[in-house]
Amino acid sequence: MNILLVAATTEELNPFFEKYNLVVEGNFFTFNISNHSFTILITGVGMVAATFHLTKFLSANHSYDLAINAGIAGAFSSDMKIGDVVNVIDEMFGDIGAEDGEDFISILELGFVKENEFPFLNGKLKSEFANDNELKKVSGLTVNTSHGNTSSIEKVKKKFNADVESMEGAAFAFCCAQFKIQWIEIRSISNYIERRDKSKWNIPVAINNLNDWLMNFIETL
């Protein structure tokens, strides 16, 4: 298989680099593992950076059998534990739209995009990659500003009913759909979505668990 592995930061893949003795030079490089060809693309944080670098890269290199988005994420529910690795099977844009007083109106509700207009299905970007893995299947919400206000968190939970939040997932899914590349998004929980308190976060555990799963997945493909 020809596989594209996408992450926002090099830090999120450091154990992977160490395992395979990879030296990061620039924001993308190619190598081989178990008869598979891999390209790692580091996009930078956020939807704008992810969309720009993915579009630029895929415009010249779009012959991939699978794209994997790997990174950390926040969880809306305590049903997930810090360090849990989850499979995000659908994504939504959480803050593209308009405000109406205290209410947020999504781009779909505004009518600028229909809920079943490509690449959306029932208002979501859905992964079609058939992978029967053991991970919990969750819905993702992608935002430009990570939530840390109790009032806005309750509103967004009620409106979108998402399980996890990231800053790149939906951009990644949108680009893959446009280039007709199958995708899978794997996230490890580093924190809960609540008033910002980094003393409760555990990014190292989240990164280690993410990479452990990722390396096992790749070596058993």
Q: Six-digit token pair at 76?
A: 């809306």
- 75 vs 160: CA distance, rounded Å: 13
Asked if residue 119 has a cis previous peptide bond (ω within 30° of 0), the answer is: yes
Predicted confidence at residue 153, as pLDDT, reads: 94
Which tens digit of pLDDT belongs to each residue from 74-90?
A: 999 989 999 999 999 99
Q: How many domains does the chain have?
A: 1
Q: pLDDT tens-digit profile of 36-71?
A: 899 999 999 999 999 999 999 999 977 899 999 999
Rounded to two decimals, the pTM is 0.94
CATH code for the domain of 73: 3.40.50.1580
Distances (CA, A) of 103 to 30, 156, 184: 45, 10, 32
Banded pLDDT at 157 (limits 50, 70, 90) = very high
164 Cβ neighbours under 8 A, 6+ residues apart: 73, 74, 75, 76, 80, 86, 88, 138, 139, 140, 141, 187, 189
Q: Quote the percentage of the chain above a pLDDT of 90.
A: 84
For residue 24, what pLDDT band results from cuts at 50, 70 and 90? confident
Q: How confident is the model at residue 35 (pLDDT cuts 50, 70, 90)?
A: confident
Question: Which residue matches tokens 């990061």?
Answer: 24
Is the pLDDT at 147 greater than 80, yes or no? yes
Largest CA distance in the chain: 55
- Helix, strand and coil content of the chain, in percent to the nearest 5, comes to 30, 30, 40
pLDDT exceeds cutoff 80 at 132: no
Lookup: tokens for 211: 């990479």
9 CB contacts (<8 Å, ≥6 apart)? Answer: 42, 44, 45, 71
- The CA distances from residue 55 to 59, 105, 164, in Å, are 6, 27, 24
Cis peptide before 15 (omega within 30 of 0): no
pLDDT band at residue 171 under the 50/70/90 scheme = very high
**Which amino acid type is present at position 23?**
V
Q: What is the pLDDT of residue 101?
A: 92
Lowest mean per-residue pLDDT among 9-18, 20-29, 93-102, 183-192: 20-29
Domain limits for position 67: 2-219
Q: Would you say 195 and 74 are in contact if contact means Cβ atoms under 8 Å apart?
A: no
- Report d(CA 58, CA 205) in Å as an integer: 31
Q: What is the per-residue pLDDT across 99-130, written as a single tens digit (0 to 9) for each?
A: 999 899 999 999 999 999 999 999 999 998 87
